[in-house]
Amino acid sequence: MVTLKLLIAISASFLFLAKVDGNGTKTVYTVTLGGDGKCLAEVNLARQAAGFSNLNQAAEEADASRLPNADTCESNDSQQCDEWVWKPVCDSLIPNKTEGRALPSGSEGAKFQSGTYAYHVADAGVFNCTAVVDNWKAAYSNFSGLPPAKKDSKDLYSKQDNISFVAMYNPAENATADCRMVTCGKKTSPVAAKNSADSSSGEEASALICMTVPDVLHTDETKAPFTEDQWAQIVTAFEGSASAFSPGVVGLGLAILGLTLL
C-alpha cells in the first residue's frame, strides 16, 4: 500500500491524473475534498436517539483516522496511476455505462486507511444532510435481527447502504469520524496544437464519505459489529421496544409464562 498523505487544510485540495490514450486524447481526473465534519451533527443526532455517544471529529494530526490525500500521478507511469488511492472512488462516481455507483473496497494498489465507511452519492442540486442520514437509517429494515459478522453474511454487506448503517452507529468507545464531500471531475481533451479550439468535455460527480474509526466490520470478520445490548438500543430507537429482538428479554418472558402455568 502506498503511503497516504492526509489533508491538513480545510480548504479544497486538488489531485490530478493525466493519461493519453490510444485515440490521442488526454484525460485528467480532479479530486476536490470539502471541509471537515460534513453532516456529522446530523449523524450524531441519530446516534443520540439510540443512546450512543457522539462520534468525535477526527483530529488533523490523526493520520490513520482521516481520509487520504493521494500523490499526483505521472502520466508516463501507468502502475502509479493504477495505484492512485482515489482512482476507485472516481471510477465509482463517474462509472462506465455497465458499472454501478457503489463505494469500492479499494484497488489492488493503494487503499484507504482501516475504517468502516458510510457513503452517499450526491444528487444534483442542494445537498441535504438530514435526507442523507434518513437514507442510511432506512437500511435498518434490511436487518432481520442482530447484524451478523461479515464472514457470516457476505451478501448483506455487499450492499453499501448496510455498511453505511453500521458505520453511522459505530459502537466503539471513543469512535471518530472524518466526514467530507468528495468531488471527482473528469476532463477529456484531444492532444492538439496550442492554437486549436478547445473541444474538451467534462463530467463531475460528488459523494459524502464518512470514515469511522475503529473499523467494526472488516478488521475482525468473525465478530458481529454490535452486541445484543447495543442492537437493542438501536431497535428501541426505531420501534420503541427491543423485546422482539432481544433474546434475553424473550427468555425472561418465557420463564415468567412457565411460572404462571405451574
Q: pTM of the prediction?
A: 0.76
Task: Return d(Cα 182, Cα 206) in angstroms, integer.
Answer: 5
Residues 226-256: tens digit of each pLDDT: 999 999 999 999 998 644 444 443 333 333 3
Domains detected in the chain:
5-226 (3.40.33)
φ/ψ of 68, rounded to 5, equals -85, 160
- For the chain, the first-to-last Cα distance in angstroms comes to 65
φ/ψ of 257, rounded to 5, equals -60, -40
Which pLDDT score is estimated for 240? 86
Cα 51 to chain centroid distance, Å, stands at: 23
Which pLDDT score is estimated for 241? 60
Give the HSE-up count for residue 237: Cα atoms under 13 Å, Cβ half-sphere: 18
Task: Return d(Cα 213, Cα 181) in angstroms, integer.
Answer: 18
Q: Identify the three-state secondary structure at position 122.
A: strand
Q: Locate 123 and state its grid cell.
A: 444528487
Which pLDDT score is estimated for 13? 34
Cα 238 to chain centroid distance, Å, stands at: 22
Question: Which ranges of the chain have pLDDT less than 50?
Answer: 1-19, 71-72, 74, 76, 97-100, 105-109, 193, 242-262
Residue 138 CB neighbour total at 10 angstroms:
11
Distances (CA, A) of 39 to 34, 45, 55, 142, 209: 12, 10, 11, 23, 10
Determine the residue type at 109: G
Indicate left, alpha or beta for 39 from its phi (over 0: left) and psi (-120 to 50: alpha). Answer: left
Q: Locate 26 and state its grid cell.
A: 488526454
Residues 81-115: tens digit of each pLDDT: 677 788 888 888 887 533 445 555 443 445 678 99
Residue 40 CB neighbour total at 10 angstroms:
20
Task: Return d(Cα 217, Cα 232) in angstroms, integer.
Answer: 18
